[in-house]
C-alpha cells in the first residue's frame, strides 16, 4: 500500500550524445514524453537508453521510446538483453555492457557496475565518472511521492525516512547480503550525487542514504519493541496492552503495537526491521495460531 505514493525517477544526460537512464511505467507515458521533450534541445533525439533494471515500473516505456526514437540504442547487461527480448521482443540496436565498460557521451563518460538482486538479478548501476553522479536504480530508493522538493537539501529528510525504511524493508531487505556488496562498490566509486529510481535525490549528503541502507542491511536495530497481535474476542489484545505497558515502564520509549487484522503488513515489516524487540501475541483456534 502506498498512502503517500511513490516517485519514478528517470534521468536524461544531455551531452554531445543524449542518454536516458531508465524509464517509467507505461501508464504515465504521455507525461513522461512531454517532460522529456521539454528538456531536450530542439531537434535532438535520444542516442542511448540505459536500462539499469527491467522491472516494468522502470522498463515499461521501452517499446514506445523505441517507436519514437528508432535510432536509439538500448544499453544493458547480458541478463537485461535477454529480458528485453523476453519482455518486449526487442533484439536490435542493443549494446551489451559488462562491469566497468565505458560509454562516452562527450563530456560525460559513464560506466556500469552490477548489483545483482538489488532488486532483480539484472540490476546494475550507471555511474557518470566525469561528474561523479551515481544512477542507482532501486538501491537507495524510498516510497513517497516527492511533495515539492526533489533534492535532499530541498526537503526534510526526516519526513521521508520512514517511507524510505518501509521501501527498504519490503523491497530490498530480503536481499540484505547483495545490498552489502552493492554498498561496497558504491564506496569505491565515491559518488558526489546519488540518483535513485524512487524518492529524493541525494546531492548534498549522499552518504546519509548509503549509511541508512548500510545499517539496515547489516540488521543493526534501534532500541524499541514492536508488538504484533491477533485477537478475536479481545483476550489476546488485553494481554498485549499489558505487555506494551510493562515495556514502557521498563523505560523503552519506542513501543509500536500492530493489530495484524487491521494494519497493513508492510508497516509491521518496517517497524520490525527497525527495532530490536518483537513480541508476537496470538490466540489458539482449532489447534492453530
Ligand X SMILES: Cc1cc2nc3c(=O)[nH]c(=O)nc-3n(C[C@H](O)[C@H](O)[C@H](O)COP(=O)(O)O)c2cc1C
- In the complex with ligand X, which residue's Cβ is closer, 79 or 237? 237
- Opening angle at CA 83, ends 79 and 84, nearest 5: 115
Q: Choose from Fe ion, ligand X, none: what does 28 bind? Cβ within 5-8 Å by kind.
A: none
How deeply is 251 buried, as exposed, middle or buried, from its count of CB atoms within 10 A (0-12, 13-18, 19+)? Answer: exposed
| Region 69-128 residues binding Fe ion, contact defined as CB under 5 A | 119
Q: Alpha-carbon torsion 124, 199, 27, 64, what sign?
A: negative
Which range binds ligand X by CB under 6 A, 108-116, 154-162, 249-257, 277-285? 277-285
Query: How many angstroms separate the CA atoms of 209 and 212, rounded?
Result: 5
Using CB under 5 A as the binding rule, whether residue 55 contacts Fe ion is answered as: yes
- Identify whether the C-beta of residue 74 lies closer than 8 Å to the C-beta of residue 93: yes
Q: Choose from Fe ion, ligand X, none: what does 119 bind? Cβ within 5-8 Å by kind.
A: Fe ion
Query: How many angstroms separate the CA atoms of 65 and 93, rounded?
Result: 13
Q: Which residues, 6 or more positions from 157, have their beta carbon under 8 angstroms from its beta carbon? A: 200, 205, 208
Least Cβ distance, residue 279 to ligand X (angstroms): 14
Least Cβ distance, residue 248 to ligand X (angstroms): 21
| Region 13-42 residues binding Fe ion, contact defined as CB under 5 A | none
Using CB under 6 A as the binding rule, whether residue 94 contacts ligand X is answered as: no
Q: Choose from ligand X, Fe ion, none: what does 283 bind? Cβ within 5-8 Å by kind.
A: ligand X
- In the complex with ligand X, which residue's Cβ is closer, 96 or 259? 259
CA distances from 72 to 49, 127, 177 (A): 7, 20, 35
| Region 173-232 residues binding ligand X, contact defined as CB under 6 A | 231-232
Q: Which residues of the chain form contacts with ligand X (CB under 6 A)?
A: 231-237, 283-287
Amino acid at each position: 500500500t502506498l498512502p503517500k505514493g511513490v516517485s519514478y525517477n528517470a534521468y536524461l544526460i544531455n551531452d554531445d550524445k543524449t542518454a536516458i537512464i531508465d524509464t517509467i511505467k507505461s501508464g504515465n507515458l504521455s507525461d513522461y514524453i512531454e517532460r522529456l521533450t521539454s528538456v531536450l534541445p530542439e531537434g535532438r533525439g535520444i542516442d542511448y537508453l540505459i536500462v539499469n533494471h527491467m522491472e516494468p515500473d522502470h522498463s515499461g516505456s521501452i517499446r514506445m521510446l523505441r517507436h519514437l526514437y528508432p535510432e536509439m540504442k538500448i544499453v544493458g547487461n547480458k541478463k537485461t538483453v535477454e529480458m528485453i527480448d523476453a519482455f518486449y521482443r526487442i533484439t536490435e540496436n542493443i549494446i551489451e555492457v559488462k562491469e566497468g565498460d565505458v560509454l562516452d557521451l562527450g563530456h560525460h563518460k559513464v560506466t556500469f557496475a552490477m548489483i545483482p538482486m538489488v532488486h532483480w538479478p539484472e540490476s546494475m548501476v550507471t555511474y557518470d565518472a566525469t561528474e561523479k553522479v551515481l544512477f542507482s536504480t532501486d538501491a537507495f530508493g524510498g516510497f513517497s511521492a516527492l511533495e515539492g522538493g526533489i533534492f535532499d537539501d530541498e526537503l526534510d529528510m526526516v519526513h521521508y525516512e520512514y517511507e524510505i525504511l518501509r521501501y527498504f524493508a519490503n523491497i530490498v531487505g530480503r536481499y540484505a547480503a547483495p545490498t552489502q556488496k552493492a554498498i561496497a562498490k558504491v564506496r569505491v566509486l565515491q559518488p558526489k550525487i546519488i540518483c535513485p529510481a524512487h524518492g529524493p535525490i541525494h546531492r548534498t549528503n549522499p552518504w546519509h542514504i548509503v549509511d541508512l541502507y548500510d545499517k539496515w542491511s547489516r540488521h543493526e536495530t534501534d532500541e524499541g519493541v514492536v508488538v504484533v497481535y491477533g485477537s478475536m474476542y479481545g483476550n489476546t489484545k488485553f494481554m498485549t496492552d499489558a505487555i506494551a505497558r510493562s515495556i514502557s515502564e521498563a523505560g523503552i520509549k519506542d513501543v509500536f503495537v500492530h493489530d495484524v487484522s487491521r494494519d497493513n503488513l508492510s508497516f509491521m515489516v518496517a517497524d520490525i526491521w527497525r527495532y530490536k524487540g518483537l513480541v508476537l501475541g496470538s490466540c489458539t483456534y482449532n489447534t492453530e495460531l
